[in-house]
């Protein structure tokens, strides 16, 4: 049973129920921290769980250490800005913003890295979250592993490129080679 | 103008942001120039660059995804004629095709003009030319001839120069 509840409303005391997601306890009472719908679920062991839910499903947030799929939107000589599209294998309803710094692109030879030879705008990249970021809510990401890096990239001709090595991809139509930091995807995940 | 790596261009300083100057080169984005990219520049010895100065340099990084980056030294660290363009003189714009014609080896236009008056000339691949001669009038005459060379044939140019050197 769901009923709309405003933000900050005192729901009940901690003796009647336990705090679930979207709530917090203060001075022996449970308050809501989200503006949404109040949900009371009865657990078999002990007290019912009170939680406040916004939208029908809960938003999945990228956590530190999670592998995310993102799309490069702009590059700079010092970092690349990305839009985080998937966390693990679940798509996000609204994209988060992320930053991949120049020194986090590779694990070896960090000073010789050139962002232009690792990513280009429009590439799909597998990266790992290293920090939740600063006040501008930009997640800090890293591709400093063999399994992380560019997965899908298009050449200047508009055709999807085929990886040749960990640092090069080739266009099947024009046969031009481009530099990217290519991810070594496990063979069982590749679909032909 | 589309910036290309290795092109020598004339840029106008529009802003000083900490360690980096922003230059207008006539492209879609402003180019960045680090203060260390001059000959003999160190962290203590900064070049004397003000907003509005003219700089002759070449592109280090220029592609369609990133902001272009300029330097005033070549790969060996020498300036080879690049740097801040001095005071006075006249900056004007011409078409990119005329610049390439003027930069061709043994260009007749420049040889004929140099017989008229001595002058200093800087050609930027972004269509900008800087000229300085002894007097303002001579400078303006050279500017007018260079601008007109776009549409004049060789014959008309020789006639115009003959008329000028006769005066």
User: Does A58 fall in a domain?
Assistant: no
Domains present along chain B, CATH in parentheses: 7-84 (2.40.50.140), 90-165 (3.30.1370.10)
What tokens were used for A76?
């700079």
Give the whole-angstrom CA distance, residue A47 versus residue A114.
Answer: 57
Interface test with A, best of B31, B66, B68 (most A CBs within 10 A): B66
Q: Are residues A84 and A48 in the same domain?
A: no
Q: A173 with A134: CB under 8 angstroms?
A: no
Give the whole-angstrom CA distance, residue B109 versus residue B88.
Answer: 23
Question: What is the rounded average pLDDT of the residues B49-73?
Answer: 91
The nearest CA of chain A is from the CA of B64 a distance in Å of 10
Q: How confident is the model at residue B112 (pLDDT cuts 50, 70, 90)?
A: confident
The nearest CA of chain A is from the CA of B67 a distance in Å of 7
CATH (domain of A71)? 2.40.50.140
Residue A2, pLDDT score: 64
Query: pTM, whole model, 2 decimals?
Result: 0.74
Residue A33, pLDDT score: 82
B154 pLDDT more than 90: no
Residue the block writes with tokens 């910036």: B3
Q: How confident is the model at residue B81 (pLDDT cuts 50, 70, 90)?
A: confident
Residue A109, pLDDT score: 87
Least CB-CB distance to B69: which of A75, A77, A120?
A77
**Per-residue pLDDT tens digits for B113-149:** 888 889 999 999 999 999 999 999 999 999 999 999 8
Cβ–Cβ pairs < 8 A, chains A and B: 16
Across all residues in chain B, what is the average pLDDT?
A: 90
Closest Cα to residue A151, out of A176, A175, A119?
A119
Question: What is the rounded average pLDDT of the residues B81-103?
Answer: 91
Give how many domains chain A has, as a whole number. 2
Domain hosting residue A42, numbered range: 3-53
Query: In degrees, to the nearest 5, what angle opens at C-alpha B60 toward C-alphas B58 and B64?
Result: 110
Q: Are residues A74 and A48 in the same domain?
A: no
Q: Are residues A35 and A100 in the same domain?
A: no
Q: Are residues A71 and A132 in the same domain?
A: yes
Q: Are residues A124 and A70 in the same domain?
A: yes
Other CB atoms closer than 10 Å to residue B20's CB: what's the count? 15
B75 pLDDT more than 70: yes
Residue the block writes with tokens 């956590």: A63
Closest Cα to residue A167, out of A184, A185, A191?
A184
Length of chain A counted residue by residue: 192
Residue B167, pLDDT score: 64
Q: Are residues A49 and A70 in the same domain?
A: no
The answer to whether the CB atoms of A76 and B61 lie below 8 A apart is no
The answer to whether the CB atoms of B66 and A120 lie below 8 A apart is no
pLDDT along chain A (192 residues), means of 10: 73 80 85 80 77 71 89 92 90 88 91 91 94 84 92 91 92 93 79 58
Q: A71 with A82: CB under 8 angstroms?
A: yes
């Amino acid at each position: 049973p769901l009923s709309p509840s405003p933000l900050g409303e005192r729901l009940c005391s901690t003796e009647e129920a336990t705090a679930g997601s979207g709530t917090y306890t203060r001075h022996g009472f449970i308050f809501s921290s989200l503006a949404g719908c109040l949900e009371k679920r009865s657990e078999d062991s002990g007290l019912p769980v009170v939680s406040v839910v916004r939208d029908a499903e809960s938003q999945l947030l990228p956590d530190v250490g999670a592998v995310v799929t993102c799309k490069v939107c702009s590059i700079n000589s010092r970092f690349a800005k990305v839009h985080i599209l998937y966390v693990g294998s679940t798509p996000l309803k609204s994209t988060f913003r992320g930053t991949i710094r120049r020194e986090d692109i590779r694990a070896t030879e960090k000073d010789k890295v050139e962002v232009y030879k690792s990513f280009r705008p429009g590439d799909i990249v597998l990266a790992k979250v290293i920090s939740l970021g600063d006040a501008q809510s930009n997640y800090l990401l890293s591709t400093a592993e063999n399994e992380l890096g560019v997965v899908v990239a298009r050449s200047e001709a508009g055709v999807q490129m085929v990886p040749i090595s960990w640092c090069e991809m080739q266009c099947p139509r024009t046969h031009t080679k481009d530099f990217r930091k290519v991810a070594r995807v496990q063979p069982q995940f590749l679909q032909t | 103008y589309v910036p290309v790596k290795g092109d020598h261009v004339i840029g106008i300083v529009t802003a000083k942001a900490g360690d980096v100057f922003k230059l207008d080169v006539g492209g879609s984005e402003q180019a960045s120039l680090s203060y260390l990219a001059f000959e003999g520049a160190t962290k203590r010895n900064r070049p004397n660059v003000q907003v509005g100065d003219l700089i002759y340099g070449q592109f280090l990084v220029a592609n369609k995804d990133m902001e272009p980056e300029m330097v005033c030294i070549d790969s060996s660290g020498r300036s080879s004629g690049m740097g801040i363009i001095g005071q006075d003189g006249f900056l004007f714009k011409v078409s990119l095709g005329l610049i390439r014609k003027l930069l061709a080896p043994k260009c007749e236009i420049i040889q004929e003009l140099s017989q008229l008056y001595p002058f200093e000339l800087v050609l930027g691949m972004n269509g900008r030319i800087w000229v300085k001669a002894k007097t303002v009038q001579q400078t303006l005459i050279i500017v007018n001839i260079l601008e007109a060379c776009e549409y004049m044939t060789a014959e008309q140019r020789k006639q115009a120069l003959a008329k000028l050197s006769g005066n």
